C-alpha cells in the first residue's frame, strides 16, 4: 500500500476552510475578508473594549492565531 502524500495535490476550497466563526480572517492578504467592514468593525470594538490589544487585532485580521 502506498502511503498518502507523495502524489497528493492539495486543493483547498479556501473560503470554506479558512473562514470560521471564531477565525473569520484568513492569512491571504488579498482576500475579501480583509475588506469586510462588519468584521473589521467587530475587531475595532474588541480593541476599544480592551479584550484585544491593537497588535492582537492586527494579527487577528492578518489571520495569525493569537
> Interface with Zn ion by CB under 5 A: which residues?
26, 31, 33
Tell how far CA 47 is from the center of its chain.
Answer: 17
Residue closer to Zn ion by CB (options 26, 52) is: 26
Distance CA 16, CA 45 (A): 26
Taking the complex as a whole, the smallest distance from the CB of residue 18 to Zn ion amounts, in Å, to 6
Taking the complex as a whole, the smallest distance from the CB of residue 26 to Zn ion amounts, in Å, to 3
Q: Give helix 54-61 / helix 37-49 axis angle, nearest 10°.
A: 160
Residue closer to Zn ion by CB (options 33, 59) is: 33
Amino acid at each position: 500500500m502506498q502511503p498518502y502524500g507523495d502524489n497528493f495535490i492539495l486543493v483547498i476550497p479556501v473560503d470554506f476552510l479558512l473562514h470560521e466563526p471564531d477565525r473569520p480572517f484568513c492569512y491571504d492578504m488579498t482576500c475579501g475578508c480583509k475588506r469586510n467592514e462588519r468584521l473589521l468593525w467587530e475587531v475595532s470594538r474588541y480593541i476599544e473594549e480592551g479584550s484585544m490589544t491593537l497588535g492582537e487585532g492586527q494579527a487577528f485580521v492578518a489571520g495569525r492565531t493569537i
